[in-house]
Amino acid sequence: MAVYADPGWRPLFVTTDGVVLETGGMLSHGAIVSREYGIPAVTGVRHATRQLHSGQWITVDGKNGVVSWTWKESTTDRKN
């Protein structure tokens, strides 16, 4: 999860299970690298870095553009 991803972040994609970015679209660097590695990604998620926090369980559904998270026994969904 980040505001954006640039080419210098490419090595980090190898160690992640999903990508959530506040900016970008289907042709952004983060989306393209995610597809190359087969990692689900959702871009253009407004205020993601304010809404998602350490300790939360996050599910990234790149096919449908949905990021779901669980926090203190409650679940919230955001459709991109």
Residue 1 in contact with residue 12, Cβ under 8 Å? no
- Please, how many CA atoms are within 13 Å of residue 6, restricted to the half-sphere of its CB? 1
Cβ atoms within 10 Å, residue 49: 13
Active site residue 47: no
Indicate which residue of 16, 18, 23, 29 is catalytic.
29
Catalytically active residues are 29
